[in-house]
Chains A and B, each alone.
Chain A
C-alpha cells in the first residue's frame, strides 16, 4: 500500500515451478487423488509458487531488480524455471 508520502511501487509477479523433466511428487499426489475421486479427465497438473514483489520505482531499475531476484534467489536454475510479469 502506498501513501502520498511514500514512493510509488510496481508489482511484479514471479511464478516458479519445477522444470517439466523433474518429478514433482506433490503434483503427482494431487493428480492421483483427483483421478481416484472421479476426475479421470485430468491428465496433467502443475504446482507452482507465486511471489509478488513490490518494488520502488523511484531511481531504481525496478524491472531489472525483479528479474535479478527471480533468477538468482527465487528460482534454482538447476531444477526450476520462472516466469515474470509486471502486474
Chain B
C-alpha cells in the first residue's frame, strides 16, 4: 500500500455539496492510512484547484431532491469536474457520489430506489468483474467485504446498455456470496445483474455504492478491504 509524505502526496479534490456527509470519513481514511490530506472543494466553485484526481463522497446532496444526485449534477463545480474527466482525469464516486456521476452522464445507468423499499445498512460481499481497468486488474479475483448504506442504490440500465458494459469490461463490482458468486440471494437492492460498481470506458472514473472508506480500520470491526479499493483509486492516476 502506498504511503506519502506531505510534500510528495498526490492532490485529490474532495467535492463537497450541501448534504455530503462522508467527506470527513474519506479524509480520515486517506490521511491516516496513506498520508494524503484531501483538498476540500465547495460545490459553488466554478473551477477546480490544481488536482490529480477528484473524489465525490457519499451523503444526501441537496436533500436527494428531484432524484439522488440530480441537483448536484448541475451545480457549478460539476462543470469543472466534467471538463477534468473529459481530459482523462480520474474520479471516484462513492454512494451519492456514484449517483452524481450517473446523473452527470460521466457513467452510464441510474440508481433507483431499493427493491425492498428499505434503507439498507450492512456489510456485503463483492466479486470483482473482468476488464482492463486498474481496479479490475489490481483487485483481481479476490472477494471484497464492504458496507453499503443506501435507500436508492438499485443500479439500472437497459438490456443494450448492460451488454455494452460487459462487452467493454466496465462492470467493476457485483454483489456476491462469500465465494464470489453473484446470485439473487446476494443482491441486496435488486440491482441489474448484481451491479454494485462500474468504471468508465477509459477505466479512470469509478462509481460504486459500497463505502470503502468505512472499511479501513480494524477498530471498526468487519473488514479493512476498503483500503485496497482506495489504494487502487490512487493507482488509477499515479
Closest to B111 in A: A79
Q: Which of A21, A74, A79 contacts B110 (CB 8 A)?
A: A79
> Which of B9-17, B19-27, B113-121, B219-227 participates in binding chain A?
B113-121
B43 at the interface (CB under 8 A from A): no
Q: A67 → chain B, closest Cβ, in Å?
A: 17
The answer to whether B156 and A79 have CB atoms under 8 Å apart is yes
Q: How distant is B148 from chain A, measured CB to nearest CB, in Å?
A: 17
B113–A78 touching, CB < 8 Å = no
- Contact partners of B158 in chain A: CB under 8 A: 21, 78
20 A-B pairs in the complex with CB atoms less than 8 angstroms apart: A18-B112, A21-B158, A22-B112, A22-B156, A23-B115, A23-B190, A25-B113, A25-B114, A25-B116, A25-B117, A26-B117, A73-B66, A74-B66, A76-B70, A76-B103, A76-B110, A78-B102, A78-B110, A78-B157, A79-B110
Check if B82 is an interface residue, CB within 8 A of chain A: no
Query: Which residues of A are in contact with B by a Cβ distance under 8 Å?
Result: 18, 21-26, 29, 73-74, 76, 78-79
A73 touches B156 (CB 8 A): no
Which of B66, B74, B156 is in CB contact (< 8 Å) with A78?
Answer: B156
Taken together as a complex, chains A and B put the C-alpha atoms of A84 and B114 apart, in Å, by: 28
- Chain B nearest CB from A71 CB (Å) reads 13
Shortest CB-to-CB span from B187 to chain A, Å, is 13
Q: Which of A21, A26, A78 contacts B109 (CB 8 A)?
A: A78
Docked pose: A74 CA to B103 CA in angstroms = 11
- The 9 A-B residue pairs with the shortest CB-CB distance, nearest first, are A78-B110, A25-B117, A79-B110, A79-B156, A25-B113, A76-B110, A29-B117, A25-B115, A76-B67
Q: For A24, A26, A76, which residue has the most chain B Cβ atoms within 10 angstroms? A: A76
Interface residues of B in 124-155 (CB under 8 A from A): 154
Count of A-B contacts with CB under 8 A? 37
Number of B positions contacting A (CB below 8 A): 21
Q: For A25, what are the chain B residues with a Cβ–Cβ distance below 8 Å?
A: 113-117, 190
- Given the complex of chains A and B, what is the CA–CA distance between A76 and B71 in angstroms? 12
Residues of B within 8 Å of A76, CB to CB, are: 67, 70, 103, 110
> Which residues on B sit within 8 Å (CB–CB) of A29?
117
1/0 per residue B154-197: CB within 8 Å of A?
Answer: 10111001000000000000000000000000000010000000
Contacts A23-B112, A78-B109, A79-B112 aside, 12 further interface pairs with beta carbons under 8 A come to A18-B112, A21-B158, A22-B112, A22-B156, A23-B154, A25-B190, A26-B113, A76-B103, A76-B110, A78-B102, A78-B161, A79-B110
Find chain A residues with CB under 8 A from B116 CB: 25
A27 to chain B, nearest CB (A): 10
Question: Bound complex: CA of A29 vs CA of B74, how far in Å?
Answer: 32
A21-B158 Cα distance, complex, nearest whole Å: 9
Contacts of B102 in A (CB 8 A): 78
